[in-house]
Chains A and B, each alone.
Chain A
C-alpha cells in the first residue's frame, strides 16, 4: 500500500532559539498506529506541526495523499490530516458541544440538516451525545479530548496526528481513549500518536519512532 504521508530529508530551525530538526525522512501509513516517543524537547511536537503544515520546513519535501504539501493551504489540510493540539482548550470554540461539530460544516456550505445528522452520528460514536448542549470548555479533560477527536473527524481526514492525547487522563480514561483510537485504526484511518505512556506503546503501537535532538534515531517496533 502506498504511504499516506512521505517526508524526504525535511529540516527545520526555529527562527529564534537553537533547536533544529534535521534531515527527517519518514513514511506514515494508514491503518496503523505509529507512536512517536522521545525525551522532552526532542522535537516531537515540532515534527507534528511540520507534517501538519503549521511550520514550514526550510528544506526537504512532504507529500500528503499523493499531493506535494506545498500545494495544500492550511484550510484544506484538515480534510487530509486531523491534528489535536497538546492542549485541547486551544481548539474548542463554541458554546455547545453540538455546535462545535456543526459550525465548520455549515460555514463550508453543508446544509443544516446534513450537518446536524453528521454531528449526531459522531457524538454518538464518541459517547458525547448526552453532553450535546454542554459548554465544551467546561467538560472534563477526557470529554474534551473526545470532542476534539470527533470534531476533527467530521472533516473525514485520512490520518491523525495526536500530540500527547493522554495528558491529564487517569488510567481508566486512558484505556478508554486507547481503545477508541484502536477502533478508528481498524476502520482504516492511520495515526501518529506522540506519547510517553508505556501502556500505550506496548499494547497498541504497530510501530514506534524514537526521536532525540531533532532526529529520528529508532524506527521499528
Chain B
C-alpha cells in the first residue's frame, strides 16, 4: 500500500474491532472478528507472524488464562470428567475461546496503532478536538506496548534461568509463577507512567492555553471509506450476531 493511512482512521478501525469483540457474544461471530482483526493487521503491515514467533509465550499465557476460565465454568454439557469433577464443559470451552480471542484482538489493536508515528497520532486526536494532554498520554501509552513485550521476554528468560521449566511447573505452582511473571511488568508500567508525567511537565503542559501546531493532517477519500466501512460493517455484524 503506497498511501499512508491516517492515524485517526486506524483509531476508528481499532475502536470498532475492540468494541465489537467485547459486545458480541456468539462464539462464531467472535471468531470472525478475530479473523478480521488479523487480516486488518496484515494489511496495515503489522509483522504479525514475526511478532507471534517472538512473543509466543504471551499467547501461551493468554491461552492458559482462557483454559483456567474454561475449566472453572460449570455447565450441564460435560465433555470431560475426572473423578466426578467436570473438567471441560461445552460452555467452558466457548468462554475460554472467547476470552482468548478478545485478548488477542486487543493486542492486535495495539499493534495496529503502533504502526503510526506517535506525533501523528497525537495530532490526529487534537484535530478531533480531543485535549492535547489526553491525546498525548493515549498515544504514548500505545507506544509502550512493544517495550512491555521486550521486558516481558526478559523476565521470562530470567525465570527460566532461575531453573524454572515452564513445561514442567507443578500444577499447584502455576498461578504463583504467573503472578511472579506479571509483577515486573506491572511495576514497570507504573514507572513508565511516571516518566510520561515528567515528560509532560517538562514540555510545559498546561502552561499555555493554546498550542501552536506545525503538522496538520488531512483525511483523504480512502480514510473516509475505511472509517465508514468499519462503522457500517460493525453495526451490521453486531446486529446479525444478535439476530442469529
Instruction: List A residues at the B interface (Cβ < 8 Å).
Output: 15, 52, 54, 73-79, 82-83, 85, 89-94, 103-104, 107-108, 137, 151-152, 155
Chain B positions within 8 Å of A104 at CB level? 162-164
Are B164's CB and A85's CB within 8 A? no
Report how far A45 CA is from B160 CA in the complex, Å: 19
Are B155's CB and A90's CB within 8 A? yes
Chain B positions within 8 Å of A91 at CB level? 154-155, 158, 161, 184
Instruction: Give the size of the chain B interface in residues (CB under 8 angstroms).
Output: 25
Chain A positions within 8 Å of B173 at CB level? 107
Question: Restricting to B156-189, which residues have a CB under 8 Å from any CB of A?
Answer: 157-166, 169-170, 173, 176-177, 180-181, 183-184, 187-188
* Partner of B163 from A52, A78, A89, A137 at Cβ < 8 Å: A78
Closest to B176 in A: A103
Closest to B181 in A: A93
Instruction: List B residues at the A interface (Cβ < 8 Å).
Output: 50, 151, 154-155, 157-166, 169-170, 173, 176-177, 180-181, 183-184, 187-188
Chain B positions within 8 Å of A79 at CB level? 163
Report how far A91 CA is from B157 CA in the complex, Å: 9
| A-B CB proximity, top 5 nearest | A91-B158, A93-B180, A104-B162, A78-B161, A75-B165
Chain A positions within 8 Å of B158 at CB level? 83, 85, 90-91, 93
Give 19 CB contacts A-B under 8 Å.
Answer: A52-B161, A75-B164, A76-B163, A78-B160, A89-B188, A90-B151, A90-B155, A91-B184, A92-B183, A93-B155, A93-B183, A94-B180, A103-B180, A107-B163, A107-B169, A107-B170, A107-B173, A107-B177, A137-B183
- Please give the distance in Å from A76's CB to the nearest CB on chain B: 7
Chain A positions within 8 Å of B155 at CB level? 90-91, 93
Are B162's CB and A155's CB within 8 A? yes
- Please give the distance in Å from A105's CB to the nearest CB on chain B: 8
- Please give the distance in Å from B231's CB to the nearest CB on chain A: 35
